[in-house]
Amino acid sequence: MTFEADTERVYPVPDEPATMIEATLCFPLRDVGGTEEVLLIEKRRGLGEGWYNGPGGKLEGEETPRECAVRETREEVGLEIDPADLEKAGELEFRLDGDRHTFCHVFRTRQFAGEPHPSEEAYPEWFAVDDVPYDRMWEDDRLWLPAVLEGETVVGEFRFVGGKPLDEAEFAGHDLERDVDFDAIGRSR
């Protein structure tokens, strides 16, 4: 396991707010004539509007992260995925002004049915994995997404400061662990 950091770790914080959001991201992958591609969405509304991201969103009711990733991918771009075909690739914690804001489960998959189509929330687009538009994505993505697209696993904390909503805050630092065995630590759900 390797570990990298650009600042001192700032957690744990004793009085965490009860309002932390739990969310998912899903990265469908395909091979087109030897070129590895990833499906991204251009977000059309809400948090991160106008930026590229993976399909995903907030957990609803009692659903598991895996069930959420399947539902959000279906709702946003119309792909059908068997939950068992999702590979857990990451856990990301986004902090805003020292508080835990969003905990995000990251999945990838090569098994899906259907063709992606636009929805009210998302416009889907395939990108070669070596041509991902990081200049039009969340600032943290360039730090962890390349590893996820190369088949690695990651656990990261990303700190933002200076304002709400999160997509108007300033990126302030991060910690990132790679090569995490989610099965071994019982967190592959």
Ligand X SMILES: COc1nc(N)nc2c1ncn2[C@H]1C[C@H](O)[C@@H](COP(=O)(O)OP(=O)(O)OP(=O)(O)O)O1
Q: How many residues does the chain have?
A: 189
In whole angstroms, the minimum distance from the beta carbon of 163 to ligand X comes to 13
Q: How far is CA 130 from CA 42, 93, 103, 123, 147, in A?
A: 18, 25, 27, 20, 12
In whole angstroms, the minimum distance from the beta carbon of 145 to ligand X comes to 7
Which residue has its beta carbon closest to ligand X? Answer: 57
Specify the residue, 34 or 78, whose C-beta has the smaller distance to ligand X.
78
Specify the residue, 87 or 105, whose C-beta has the smaller distance to ligand X.
105
Specify the residue, 47 or 129, whose C-beta has the smaller distance to ligand X.
47
Whole-number Å distance between alpha carbons of 171 and 53: 17
150 CB neighbour count, 10 Å cutoff: 9
Q: Which has the closest alpha carbon to 77: 50, 31, 113? A: 113
In whole angstroms, the minimum distance from the beta carbon of 25 to ligand X comes to 5
In whole angstroms, the minimum distance from the beta carbon of 43 to ligand X comes to 7
Specify the residue, 49 or 184, whose C-beta has the smaller distance to ligand X.
49
Specify the residue, 46 or 98, whose C-beta has the smaller distance to ligand X.
46
Whole-number Å distance between alpha carbons of 129 and 150: 9
Phi, psi at 20, each rounded to 5°: -60, 135
In whole angstroms, the minimum distance from the beta carbon of 128 to ligand X comes to 19
Whole-number Å distance between alpha carbons of 45 and 37: 24
Contact (CB, 8 A) for 53 and 41: yes
In whole angstroms, the minimum distance from the beta carbon of 104 to ligand X comes to 5
Specify the residue, 68 or 180, whose C-beta has the smaller distance to ligand X.
68
Contact residues for ligand X, defined by CB under 6 A: 23-25, 46-48, 53, 56-58, 72, 94, 102, 104, 138, 140-141, 158, 166
> What's the token pair of residue 43?
């977000």
